[in-house]
Amino acid sequence: MVIQSPPNRPEPPPDKNQMMIRAATLGVIAVVLFGVLVFRLWALQVLHSDHYVAQANQNDVRQLPLPAPRGEIVDSSGKVLVKNTSHVLAEVNPAGLATRVDCTTFPADQRAKCNAVVAATPPGAVPRCAALKGQTRCLVLARLGQVLGMKTHEVWRAYEKTLYVNADGSGGCTPKAHAPCYVVNAGPPIPLKPASEPEVAYVLERRSQFPGVQFLQTTQRQYPFGDLMPNVLGYVSQISQAELKDSNFAGLTGGAMVGQAGAEYSYDRELRGTDGLLEQNYDATGRAVGPTYVQRAAQPGDTLQLTINSRLQKIAQKAVAYGIQVAHNDGEVTAHTGAIVAMNPQNGQIYAMASYPSYNPSVFLPPAKNAGKLYKDKYNQPLIDKTLEPKAPGSTFKPITATAAWNSGVLGPGSTLDCPGVFYRPGDFSHTPFPNWTTINLGTMDLQTALEQSCNTFFFQLGSKMYDLPNQGIAFQKTIRQYGFGKTPPMDLPVSPYFSGLVPDPAWRLQTYSKPIDQVWQPGYDIQMAIGQGDLTVSPMQLAVAYSAIANGGKLVTPHIGKALLDSQGNVVKRFDPAPQRDLHLSPTLLSEIRQGLYEASHSSLGTSSSVFGSYTPAVAGKTGTAEHPPDPSPNAWFASYAPADNPKLVVVALINDGGHGGVSAAPAARQVYQGFFHQRITNTVGTDASR
């Protein structure tokens, strides 16, 4: 009925007035609707445009860090100790691989197995390659492994090990412990192995056979001097979760490469530079579109110049080995580790800092396969810097005892004491003997002779007398601490808090021991400490700083290894010249007596190291130390010294652990360093050395 139209007939004219009004109303409605649109557009595009621009940018632009080249490390003569090498790393990008297994690509006879394995796999994950070899991803990886010279199971594991999930999709699965594990193809590209140029070319020419495979130009640390000074240089690796909270690494995010020890750690901020920013457009399906462009260029790190001289360092390193060899020849067969510190006594610049045995820091470069061996070597403990490890100092400590006695009034100008074969503390009813190194009474002597002949009983008396001072001779410990002992050296290397060294005192005893009888501070402790024995421990570095103070007239220098920062053109950006820690205000009379004693110790016929240095020029003033450390039968051999005696330019402290008598093994080792410093040309190209 509706679609049937009545026949056309002359049409009546429209009711013009009403229609006009209705048409106008229709126009008004249109105007209102357009007005709504215009106001809405105004709000979106004019008022709140910023908001949407930000969202649009967030949508499509992803920012990638552009790693800044890390600064090099050079020695005092400008020789490169640590540099960067660039290489190409083969990576597999999970985003380029399928997230599902397509069983139809399998040969007919394996399709049933494929379907069964896939059915048992949780959604979103794929089976491990070991569980289902025919997956496209596994074939690609195996192919890549052949190109890169990796075994098939190696390359599978290298790719999958960070992608394992449990059956419930949770992470942290390890195939052996919680089988079965599955793999989720997601996350950042996974680095496999450095690739050579022909390998890269081979893959790039056959792109379609290697989906997801990409190559990353990257840099790695290289150590031209090998194992010369890993303790000084440190190494670099990816920042750990704990390190993200370290103030030294403030502002860094996961994945950053940071210095882990040595100068790499303490100068990390300067070496690191500032990463740049790359931007890359992505489309709605997550594919990268177009080329990347540099939003902010990377700011390369500064070059760090060390005060270390690689030649002297090499000599020092060999000297420790030589000292150990000498000790072996002398029957001290257990000698196997040691340290030498050589520094400028005037300003604290460290010229050499040898810890033996050494290792090559390149073991920490990825994949760091052999780093574990270093941790496991409990006998040599190569990762422990022997220049910073505190040990009993033995007789090398006597000048410090003398200073304490002088400061507390026990010893004065012209004071003399007897040097018996054995010392008994007056009023000690237990009659404990404190023996000298000889049973013969060497007679009455002053301080310089006591140092020259290393008379223990002389110093036992000082220790005993200081104990009798009010407050149990705390003045003794006070002076020792003023010399910088008992505290980690304030230097530009990370020093473990365990390496502060121990200056025993009544408070420490009370805190450390539980039995009341052990908690009492006995006179014997001060007496032992007077000759650098007992619980006292000091590191070669601390001793070198103390001897620098004696050498330079009482300034306690700040030891440091950083000399300057250089920009990429080699211009000095910053010089490091840390102020001395404090002035010890040593009495000139005391100083001259100690210096004279140390000079005589290496020169007079009765001196402990005159056989080594008696006729050596320039004149070396030094004290041997033979520190017993029960239950080890062999004492540690020390030699602490400076030269030239009248105008000191170099302090050398040598320590041969289990090396026997200081004069036998440590002093000859120190002599090698003096020989290298004074009789072979050592160049410093950048900056002038006032001390030389």
Partner 1 sequence: MRTYLRHLDYMMLATALAITTYGLWILRNATRNDIPGDPTYYYNRQLAYAVVGVVGMLLISLVPPRFLRRINPLLYLFVVLTTMVVLVIGTSVQGGQRWINLGVFQFQPSELGKLLLIVGLAAWLGNRRNEWSPARLTLGALAYMALPALLVFAEPDFGTALVYAAVTLGMLFVLGAPWRHFAWLGLAFVVTLAMVFSIMPGLGVPVIKQYQMDRLTAFLHPSSSNIQGDGYHITQSMIAVGHGGVGGTGYAGATQTRLNYLPEHATDFIFSVVGEERGFVGAIWLLGLYALLIWRGLKVITISRSTFGSLVAAGIVSMLVFQIFINIGMTIGVAPITGIPLPFMSFGGTHTITNLFAIGVLQAIHVDAYRRAEPRLGGRGPMYG
Query: Which candidate, 621, 619, 618, places its Cα nearest to that of 608?
Result: 621
CA distance 556 to 175: 58
Which letter, b or e, does each residue of 494-515 get, where b requires 16 or more Cβ atoms within 10 Å of its Cβ? Answer: bbeeebbbbbbbbebbeeeeee
Selected range binding partner 1 among 26-34, 202-210, 412-420, 548-556, rule: CB under 8 A? 26-34
| Minimum CB distance to partner 1, residue 291 (Å) | 14
CB nearer to partner 1: give 14 or 630.
Answer: 14
CA distance 290 to 296: 18
Of 11, 109, 197, 205, the one binding partner 1 (CB under 8 A) is 11
Find all residues with CB under 8 Å of 635, minimum gap 6, and list them.
394, 626, 627, 628, 629, 658, 659, 660, 661
Residues 619 and 595 sit within 8 Å (Cβ to Cβ) = no
Q: Angle 398-407/523-530 helices, nearest 10 degrees?
A: 120
Question: Which tokens go with 362?
Answer: 């390149």
| Minimum CB distance to partner 1, residue 207 (Å) | 17
Of 108, 250, 284, 440, the one binding partner 1 (CB under 8 A) is 284
Does position 293 interact with partner 1 (CB under 8 A)? The reply is no
CB nearer to partner 1: give 283 or 583.
Answer: 283
| Minimum CB distance to partner 1, residue 13 (Å) | 7
Of 122, 141, 207, 281, the one binding partner 1 (CB under 8 A) is 281
Task: Please name every residue paired with 303 in a beta bridge, in sequence order, or none if there are none.
Answer: 566
CB nearer to partner 1: give 36 or 250.
Answer: 36
CB nearer to partner 1: give 44 or 201.
Answer: 44
Does position 201 interact with partner 1 (CB under 8 A)? The reply is no
User: Measuring CA to CA, how many Å separate 240 from each of 131, 258, 259, 592, 687?
Assistant: 32, 9, 11, 52, 37
| Minimum CB distance to partner 1, residue 98 (Å) | 20
Q: What is the 3-state secondary structure (H, E, C) of 327-349?
A: HHHCCCCCCCEEEEEEECCCCCE
CB nearer to partner 1: give 28 or 294.
Answer: 28
x/- contact string, 28-67, with partner 1 (CB under 8 A)? -xx--xx-xxx-xxx-xxx-xx-xxx-xxx-xxx------
Does position 198 interact with partner 1 (CB under 8 A)? The reply is no
CB nearer to partner 1: give 11 or 205.
Answer: 11
Size of the site for partner 1 (CB under 8 A): 52
Does position 291 interact with partner 1 (CB under 8 A)? The reply is no
Residue type, 158: A
Does position 282 interact with partner 1 (CB under 8 A)? The reply is yes
Does position 207 interact with partner 1 (CB under 8 A)? The reply is no
Question: Which tokens go with 201?
Answer: 């070319």
Residues 319 and 340 sit within 8 Å (Cβ to Cβ) = yes
First to last CA, the chain: 120
Residues 100 and 124 sit within 8 Å (Cβ to Cβ) = no
Selected range binding partner 1 among 1-9, 392-400, 455-463, 587-595, rule: CB under 8 A? 1-9
CB nearer to partner 1: give 23 or 422.
Answer: 23
CB nearer to partner 1: give 29 or 297.
Answer: 29
- Of 494-513, which residues contact partner 1 (CB under 8 A)? none
Does position 23 interact with partner 1 (CB under 8 A)? The reply is yes
- Of 556-585, which residues contact partner 1 (CB under 8 A)? none
Does position 14 interact with partner 1 (CB under 8 A)? The reply is yes
Residue type, 525: Y
Of 283, 377, 583, 628, the one binding partner 1 (CB under 8 A) is 283
Starting at the edge strand found earlier in the chain, the sheet holding 636-643 runs: 350-356, 337-343, 650-657, 636-643, 621-627
- Under DSSP, the state recorded for 45 is I
Which residues contact partner 1 by CB under 8 A?
Answer: 2-6, 8-9, 11-16, 18-20, 22-27, 29-30, 33-34, 36-38, 40-42, 44-46, 48-49, 51-53, 55-57, 59-61, 281-285, 289
